[in-house]
Amino acid sequence: MQNGSIISKFSGLSFSFRIARRYLFSKKSHNAINIISGISAAGVGVGAMALVCVLSVFNGFGSLISDMFSSFDPDLKISVIQGKTFDVNTKEFNALRKMKSVAYFTEVVEENALLRFKNKQMPATVKGVSNDFEKMTRIDSIMYDGKFILYDGAFQRSVLGVGVASILGLGAHFIDPLYIYAPKRTSEINLLRPENSFNQVGTFVSGIFSVKQLQYDDHYVLISIGLARDLFEYEKSTVTSVELKLAKGVDKDEVQKKIKTLLGNKFQVKNRYEQQESFFKIMKIEKWITYLILCFILLIASFNIIGSLSMLIIDKKADIETLRSLGANNQLIKRIFLFEGWMISAVGAIVGIAIGAGMCLVQEHFGILKLGSGYVVDAYPVVTNPIDMLLVFITVISMGFLAAYYPVRYIRTKENLSD
């Protein structure tokens, strides 16, 4: 009865943890058990390190591409849900212009057209923008050649994507004009003279931009919004979208909600993520598929814990019987070895995450691993995220629990253990 009271006094989690910690760090009767425990922790550590590094690299690529899009995409883009065009000369949009949280308000007319330079032709997306477009975006930072000028006071100018310029054989400041053709919206097609069914404007190329994204570089041409309205036969207050740059320090999500409320349900207001939603969704899917694959590999590595605990249970058979003689129940003994498995996983996880985070920080600041020539950046982009590290730690501990539970649940009663 006295022995039973001793165990009951220390039978909490603290007692189980202390015994498990002693078993983990003390020397076993068979040196192979120490080696297998070390291998188990090392395997878990390598898996945790790989998870941290891979997730950080995906974060780096996501941040890099987001920065590229931010040079061309606005903070918020307003478009109509049904139809293509709308009028910005309304009280709602006038109120939007006066909002303190809106730094720049850019009117946009965007349509498909045909480009011709000398004897070369290609379809493209022509985007007419107002004067605030340069201030709204960081297009100066992505200029490949020339300058961003849409009207020089005498001639209409255009700025092309680097892919469009390459296909047409154009460069900045070429003397020959670039011609843009668009079907006439307000008249019928002339079957006898088809060329009369198109509006035509000529521009001189002032610059070439490079977003390093094919959807922009290979398809877009920027012109002044006045020229675009003349080409596509739109009224002066008609636009296909409105692009906004928000003031510094404002809550972008909150401003987006206010604008949605102001404009009503006829308009959609998209932030930068929503403007490229399909692209970022694909990147997220790739990231989490890779995470699941590495988790599977980590689960296989965690199976070493099964062998380590099984051998430890056999090695500590006499200790188990002693604990039972002192009044320990089956649940307490199982808890000791369950903690043992958790501690092996925790040691591996902490060491692996620390090494992985250290490697990522070194790569982030010094760029040791290079991508080679011909890429957007010289070295692998890396962004360490504490949330990812917490996720890796929880994943490793969960798998450690599953691996530890399998051998522990077969610990039997005193009579069966002694057989």
* Spans of all domains in the chain: 2-68+279-417, 74-274
Beta-bridge partners for 145: 208
- Which of helix, strand or coil describes residue 381? coil
Instruction: Share the mean pLDDT of the chain.
Output: 84
Q: Nearest-5° angle of CA 111, CA 115, CA 119?
A: 170
What pLDDT score was predicted for residue 33?
64
Give the C-alpha separation, 369 to 57, whole Å: 11
Give the C-alpha separation, 51 to 155, whole Å: 56
Q: How confident is the model at residue 31 (pLDDT cuts 50, 70, 90)?
A: low
Angstrom distances, CA of residue 147 to CA of 134, 171, 335, 411: 11, 12, 70, 76
What pLDDT score was predicted for residue 213?
85
Q: How many CA atoms lie within 13 A of 312 on its CB side?
A: 35
N-to-C CA span, the chain: 26
What pLDDT score was predicted for residue 21?
64
What pLDDT score was predicted for residue 201?
94
- DSSP string for residues in 193-248: SGGGGEEEEEEEEEEEE--S-HHHHTTEEEEEHHHHHHHHT--TTEESEEEEEEPT
- What would the pLDDT profile of 182-220 be if each residue is shown by its tens digit? 998 877 766 666 667 789 999 999 999 998 888 899 999
Q: How many residues does the chain have?
A: 419
Q: How many CA atoms lie within 13 A of 183 on its CB side?
A: 9
What pLDDT score was predicted for residue 6?
46
Q: How confident is the model at residue 8 (pLDDT cuts 50, 70, 90)?
A: very low
More confident residue, 37 or 276: 276
Pairing of strands 178-183, 198-209: antiparallel
- What would the pLDDT profile of 61-108 be if each residue is shown by its tens digit? 888 888 888 888 999 999 999 989 999 999 999 999 999 999 999 999
More confident residue, 328 or 144: 144
- Which of helix, strand or coil describes residue 395? helix
What pLDDT score was predicted for residue 341?
78
Instruction: Say if residue 28's pLDDT is above 60.
Output: no
Burial class (CB in 10 A: 0-12, 13-18, 19+), 40: buried
Structure tokens at 232: 């596509």
Instruction: Say if residue 327's pLDDT is above 70.
Output: no
